[in-house]
Structure 1
Amino acid sequence: MAFPMPLIVCGKVPQVAIGVREGLKPAYDAIHIMMSVESGINEIPSLLQGYRPSANDSENLGSQRYGQKPVAIVTGGGYSDDDFAKMRKACEGLSSVPWLRHDLSNSFDPSNARPKLGLEYGKQIAERVKNCLKELAESGKMNNDGVYYY
């Protein structure tokens, strides 16, 4: 697949989402960044089918380069199990891309202070996302619907 590979990112904190977007470059392009469950439910299905989102979302911090279908959906730690399930259900049968979730149980080194939510934290998260995507590619799972933790 040609670079950068398009991703959908679902976050809750704009500064973290911007850090993730920047940290994913140049290999990945966060084409659309959602900041709520409702946006995810309404917009991810269209994006997975290769369509532009129907609403003009002023909160969208993504590149908005909608030329290719996304290869994965990345959700941040602010989404509960219920939130995540609602977004996945809205997309049932529309695509076979991996869904990445933040593994909150493995997020922080207990010997260090919890990182401040901001750009640098977002870039740290992006590194974990890139590692997860690399593992999925190496194991041939990039075209498999499933839930994978980073």
Structure 2
Amino acid sequence: MLPEYNVVYAGHNLSDAEREVPLVLAGCSPPPATLHTQVGSNDFTIPPRAVITGGGYSEGRFQALYQACAKAGGAITVPFFRTDNQLTDQLAAMGQGPAHASPEYPAAVTARLKAKLREVGVAPETNPSGTAGKTYWF
């Protein structure tokens, strides 16, 4: 995501992320040393601008995360971005993108995410209005 975007927190365990992300959004971030992951800067002095989930989130797990975030902060203040696994499969089947397990997949899905962030207006030096609480697929 660098250099355009600073990934502050990157959760890899769904259950832990479902507990930690709402705290981050509510401004009550746990001490970085106590987080289940040390990927990302863990610099919580800058308010989050988006929540991005990977392809491991089923609809139920995503809704659990979303509702936990709403409950923790009283309102959703950022947009959510979800990996579109069906799009990945379609692009791979048409020969227009890599399959999930391929070495090219991380770069391809990152490019899709960056394009969606720009499309929505979540870009460096911007403050998009009207995106809080919305969900976007990439």
TM-score by length of 1: 0.72
Secondary structure in 1 matching 2:7: strand
Partner of residue 47, structure 1: 24
Q: Which one of 23, 33, 55 corresponds to residue 77 of structure 1?
A: 55
Whether the aligned pair in 2 keeps the contact of 1:71 and 1:143 (CA below 8 Å) is no
Partner of residue 105, structure 1: 86
Equivalent position amino acid for 1:26 in 2: P
Partner of residue 3, structure 1: none
CA distance in structure 2 between the partners assigned to 1:117 and 1:31 by the alignment:
26
- Cα deviation digits, residues 10-59 of structure 1 (max 9, x gap): xxxxxxxxxxxxxx111111111111221122111121133432571253
Unpaired runs of at least 5, structure 2 = 123-127
Equivalent position amino acid for 1:116 in 2: A
5 Å matches for 1:135-150? 135-137=119-121, 140-141=128-129, 143-150=131-138
CA distance in structure 2 between the partners assigned to 1:142 and 1:60 by the alignment:
31
How many aligned positions are there? 125
Partner of residue 96, structure 1: 77
State, as a whole percentage, how many aligned pairs show the same letter.
Answer: 26
Q: Which one of 28, 31, 37 corresponds to residue 8 of structure 2?
A: 31
Secondary structure in 2 matching 1:59: coil
Partner of residue 114, structure 2: 130
Task: State the 1:141 CA deviation.
Answer: 4.9
Unpaired runs of at least 5, structure 1 = 1-23
Query: Which of structures 1 and 2 has the larger relative contact order (alpha carbons within 8 angstroms, sep 6+)?
Result: 1
CA distance in structure 1 between the partners assigned to 2:76 and 2:100 by the alignment:
34
* Divergent runs of 4+, >3 A: 140-143
CA distance in structure 2 between the partners assigned to 1:106 and 1:133 by the alignment:
17
Q: Which structure shows the bigger proportion of residues in strand conformation? A: 1
Whether the aligned pair in 1 keeps the contact of 2:20 and 2:35 (CA below 8 Å) is no
Call closer, same or farther: CA 1:43–1:30 in 2, change over 3 Å: same
